[in-house]
């Protein structure tokens, strides 16, 4: 059975830097543990998220410096709590899958194989 964990800002520091006047938005964050998104494992470190589109379906890029490490489809939703957090789940093989990133005003919900299989 998969367990779901919600890591607060202490686990992952998110600093949104929203770009105005376009369909590209971005945020910087520090990842303190390894997670998998769209089949790519992200190691702990500093990343920049950039997402393209006005929603609800967007494409999110994860970059270290100027190098894009991973790209994943996501759904853009409002964040009613206005709290920054990260939602993950532990898979049967003990890997940690990234489910969502909550920023101040929005949530990026990542599509996973498990959620795609149920649709």
SS3 state at 115 = helix
Dihedral through CA 94, CA 86, CA 29, CA 35, nearest 10? 10
pTM surpassing 0.95? no
Select the more confidently predicted residue: 74 or 117. Answer: 74
Q: Which residue shows structure tokens 């769209």?
A: 38
Domain boundaries, the chain: 3-113
**How large is the average pLDDT for residues 21-34?**
76
pLDDT band at 98 (very low <50, low <70, confident <90, very high): very high
Residue positions counted in the chain? 119
6 DSSP 8-state letter: E
Annotate 26-64 with three-state secondary structure: EEEEEECCCEEECCEEECCEEEEEEEECCCCEEEEEEEE
């Amino acid at each position: 059975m998969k367990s779901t964990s919600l890591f607060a800002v202490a686990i992952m520091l998110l600093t949104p830097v929203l770009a105005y006047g376009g369909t590209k938005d971005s945020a910087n964050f520090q990842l303190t543990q390894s997670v998998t998104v769209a089949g790519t494992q992200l190691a702990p470190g500093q990343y920049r998220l950039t997402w393209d589109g006005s929603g609800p379906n967007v494409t999110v890029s994860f970059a270290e410096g100027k190098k894009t490490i991973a790209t994943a489809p996501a759904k853009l939703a409002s964040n009613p709590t206005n709290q920054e957090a990260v939602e993950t789940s532990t898979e049967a093989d003990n890997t940690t899958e990234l489910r969502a990133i909550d920023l101040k005003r929005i949530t990026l919900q990542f599509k996973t194989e498990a959620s795609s299989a149920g649709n």
